[in-house]
Structure 1
Amino acid sequence: MKHRIVVLGAGYTGMMAAHGIARRTKDTDVTLVNPTDVFTERLRQHQVAVGQELAVHRIPDLVKPAGVAFVQGRAARIDAAGRRVILDDGRELIYDYLVYAIGSTTPRVEHAFTIDDPAFAQALRSNAEGVLAVCGAGLTGIEAAAEAAEAYPGLRVLLLSRGEPGSMMGPKARAYLMNTLDRLGVEIRTGVTVARVLPHAVELSGGELVPSDVTLWTTGVVQDRLAADAGLAVDDTGRVVVDAVLRSASHPEVFAIGDAAAIRQAYGTIHGTCQSGIPTGAHTAESITRILRGKGPRPFRFGYIHQPVSLGRKDAVIQFTNPDDTPSRWYLKGRAAIAYKEAVSSSPLKFYRSKTAVPSAFTKRTGGRRNRLVPATPLTNLSKGSAR
């Protein structure tokens, strides 16, 4: 009998897992489930948000070369005891192993858009001479603010945050980031907390009203209730608790990866990024393959290597990091950073279309650590002074 593998979620992480399992195994039926048939390039959402048109990549076309079956639908319930996924239209999928790659979302706030809201681009176009308030100065907020300021020169862009933008970077990379935001005309207010969003203003915790024609909310994370409702062990944020090989702590036939999993390493719990998510998908593909061959799965080991930040279409900054995501002394800026960021952003799609069975474009062994993300295109010929 064929082993039945169901992968929930066709983001970068789920796609990597589905491809890896299908290409490494025989006598398996790998089914990938997603609500839409269009692949979302999460690494480029800030571009879409300001109305830039990107190529459309359909999931069935991306998974067909690997022999993965695609089912368009939304998972309504997981019957963990019966090993079934029930879709919202009543269809059922039976699994021997389930890969839970649902991911996370930004919370919805009344009167505010999120980066993945298709209506946000139209709102910006309609208010190109107005005020955009970006709530949150994490990487999403920074990239969105820079992109909007560059695309709409008449738009006043406010970046509102409790902390300093780029606080996770080293001093030189952070200084370059701040100078670029200043050049683009982005106004930054730190040390503030947003109490609520009104139709045409943002109210701060002290009662001050900041006028805003369009408000973008980029802070906070919400987990889907699907895993918790199925009885899987989850942490206080709703992420699936996993063991060292990324299996559910309560249901070993379920693997949880990417943003959906609470993955512990020696330096702490991994935070959700494509950089960390893609290796979890690749590792899970290897683990399931080993199990089906009668071998034991290996522990997952991961170390960060970079913090890439787009600053519009004409600039970028890359902070290279230690494995625990603290900044190293090296960084890239300007054209070298743009080339690096583009190589990283385009790498997943290149792998999905290839016939390579091993995701070598994304993982390698370095200093005893496995699954450290690296760009598929080697970075060469750096301009003098770009790396510090």
Structure 2
Amino acid sequence: MRILVVGAGYAGTIAANRLAKKVKTAEITVINTHPDFVERVRLHEHIAGTGAAATPLASMLSERVATRVGTVDKIGDGQVTLADGASLDFAYLFLAVGSTAAALPDTIAVGTWDGAQEARARLAGLPGGKTVTVIGGGLTGIETASEIAFGRPDLRVRIVGRTIAASLSAGAQKRVRTGLDRLNVEVVEDSVTQIDPDAGEGGGDMVRLHSRPPVTSDLTLWAVIGSVPDLAARSGLEVDAHGRAVVDEHLRSVTDRRIFVVGDCAAVPGSRAACATAMPQGAHAADTLARMLQGRKPQPYSMGYTGQTLSLGRHDGVLQANRRDDTVRRLYFAGRGAAVAKERICRYARFGARTATYAWLRGPK
């Protein structure tokens, strides 16, 4: 029996390793576009040159799991077709292709590995005094802007977003502003309408804003994660308005029950794109298949949130407490202790993906 796992992010990696432990008779193959496991929660460190985000898949996956580097073009009836024309049959498949970014033209998307690689190279070549503009006021944008400001204090760093840290409580939002100010990050609350390359002062990009005069940027980064790959839709699986595959209470595609969908590309009610979401889903889906193959009744998926974390450079951060249904509480923690806690959370996610050992709260009743 062959089980294919498409995508080797947090959800796909923990699913593959959990299957290796619990389904001993299966031939498990992970198909990934890159030969590395990428910690998306560390891409801002990779871009700024303050840390690393990639680990060879060979060191992350069980020896029982085979790896194939390639891109899946389509999922058919018990078969996947790769971009190079090859095909692989499967008894079960785990779709874990994550999310991506639909970047504005003439910007670099920092939420993807390829984009982070390009941004890192471009940033390294920028001389002091130049301006970096990060578009996106969410946690990805905040971490990217603050990490660059921390790692390259010789640059002028700007973050542009309609609202900065909108997912946090009012108090935590204020603290994020304080952290950005300490790093000399300029905050512009507005939306970007257009980028005119090489039209700004000194040959930089002209960044046009909705309600303010345009600004000049020597490197413009897109930090909005707002879409998912179209593999599910292209393969005929039922998807929601955002392109995420619709799943049942056991995380199986409602179109093809042989296909489990986990992580950012799964339309799970109440979920948000995060490794805190991907890890439980990947683990639960693997456990569900193991139970089914043993003739046991599968359990419905349930997961509750605890909060949100973000770093503001290497020595500052914010931990926002959330209720299990992911609504924010007034409580938050900030400072060096929060930065240390964020680092430990990132390490635990990587440990869980590699060892298939991970615990989470059940969802609200």
TM-score of the superposition, structure 1-length normalised?
0.86
Contact 1:51–1:122 (CA under 8 A) maintained in structure 2: no
1:180 aligned onto 2:185: no
Cα shift at 1:55: 7.0
Tell me, yes or no, if the aligned pair for 2:158 and 2:187 is still in contact at 8 Å.
yes
- Which residue of 2 is the match for residue 140 of structure 1? 140
Deviates more, 1:127-136 or 1:165-174: 165-174
Separation of aligned partners in 2, 1:353 and 1:212: 40
SS in 2 for 1:104: coil
1:69 lines up with 2:62 in the alignment: no
Residue 328 of structure 1, CA deviation: 2.1
Whole-angstrom distance in 1 between the partners of 2:8 and 2:188: 36
Alignment-derived partner of residue 40 in structure 1: 38
Q: How does 1:8-87 map to 2 (within 5 A)?
A: 8-54=6-52, 56-65=54-63, 67-79=64-76, 81=77, 83-87=78-82
C-alpha distance in 2, partners of 1:225/1:367?
A: 31
- CA deviation after TM superposition for structure 1 residue 294, in Å: 1.1
Deviation of the 1:12 alpha carbon:
0.6
Partner SS state of residue 338, structure 1 = helix
Q: Which residue of 1 aligns with 2:195?
A: 197
Determine whether 1:245 maps to 2:250.
yes
State the AA in 1 paired with 2:176. L
- Which residue identity is paired with 1:119? E
Unaligned runs of 5+ in 1: 369-388
Alpha-carbon deviation of 1:194? 1.0
Shift of 1:148: 1.0
> What is the CA–CA distance in structure 2 between the aligned matches of 1:250 and 1:332, rounded to whole Å?
43
SS of the residue 1:222 aligns to: coil
Amino acid at match of 1:256: V
Deviations 1:205-231 (A, max 9, x none): 358321111111112422212111111
Equivalent of 2:239 in 234, 238, 249? 234
- Partners of 1:36 and 1:73 within 8 A in 2: yes
Output the amino acid matched with 2:67.
Answer: F
Find the aligned partners of 1:242 and 1:305 in 2 and give their Cα distance.
24
Say whether the 8 Å CA contact 1:308–1:319 is kept in structure 2.
yes
CA distances 1:22-51 after superposition (whole Å, capped 9, x unpaired): 111221111111011111111100001112
Q: CA deviation at 1:283?
A: 0.6
Asked whether the equivalents of residues 169 and 326 of structure 1 are also in contact (C-alpha less than 8 Å), the reply is no
Separation in 2 of the partners of 1:78 and 1:170?
41
Q: Answer whether contact 1:84 1:94 (CA < 8 A) is retained.
A: yes
C-alpha displacement at 1:168, in angstroms? 2.1
Query: Hey, what's the Cα distance between the residues in 2 that align with 1:125 and 1:73?
Result: 29
Return the alpha-carbon distance in structure 1 between the equivalents of residues 130 and 53 of structure 2.
Answer: 29
1:222-259 deviation digits (Å, cap 9, x = unpaired)? 22121111110001111001111111111111111111
Greater mean alpha carbon deviation, residues 13-22 or residues 84-93 = 84-93
Distance change >3 Å, CA 157–CA 282, structure 1 → 2? same
Structure 2 unpaired stretches of 5+: 198-204
Give the match's secondary structure for 1:105. Answer: coil
Give the alignment's Cα RMSD to 1 decimal: 1.8
Aligned to 2:91: 96
Give the Cα–Cα distance (whole angstroms) in 1 for the partners of residues 212 and 306 of structure 2.
Answer: 41
Partner amino acid, structure 1, of 2:250: V
Read off the aligned partner of 2:98 and give its amino acid letter. Answer: G
CA distance in 1, matches of 2:212, 2:187: 19
Cα pair 2:168 2:328 within 8 Å, conserved? yes
Query: Partner amino acid for 2:316?
Result: D
Give the distance between the partners of 1:196 and 1:5, measured in 2 at CA: 45
Give the corresponding residue for 2:312: 311
The one-letter code matched in structure 2 to 1:319 is: Q
Contact 1:5–1:97 (CA under 8 A) maintained in structure 2: yes
Helix, strand or coil: the match of 1:340? helix
Corresponding residue for 1:122? 121
Q: How far apart, CA to CA, are the structure 2 residues paired with 1:351 and 1:236?
A: 31
Shift of residue 260, structure 1, vs aligned partner = 0.5
- Aligned twin of 2:200: none
Deviations 1:75-129 (A, max 9, x none): 11111x2x10111122221111111001111113321111132121222233332
Task: Output the CA distance in 2 between the equivalents of 1:75 and 1:366.
Answer: 33
Counterpart in the other structure of 2:333: 332
1:9-31 per-residue CA deviation (whole Å, 9 max, x = no partner) reads 00011001111111112211111
Match of 2:271 in 1: 270
Secondary structure class of the residue paired with 2:80 = strand
Q: Aligned pair in 2 of structure 1 residues 167, 55: CA closer, same or farther (>3 Å)?
A: closer
Distance 1:133 1:56, change over 3 A: closer
TM-score by length of 2: 0.92
2:288 match: secondary structure: helix
Distance 1:106 1:352 in 2: 23
- CA deviations 1:173-201 (Å, max 9, x no partner) are 222211111111111111x2211112112
Residue-by-residue CA offset, 1:252-291 (whole Å, 9 max, x unaligned): 1111111101101xxxx31211111111001101111011
Q: How many residues align?
A: 353
Other structure's SS at 2:60 match: helix
Pick from 104, 107, 112: which aligns with 1:109?
104
Deviation at 1:300, TM superposition (A): 0.9
**Secondary structure at 2:285 match in 1:** helix
* Aligned partner letter, 2:18: G
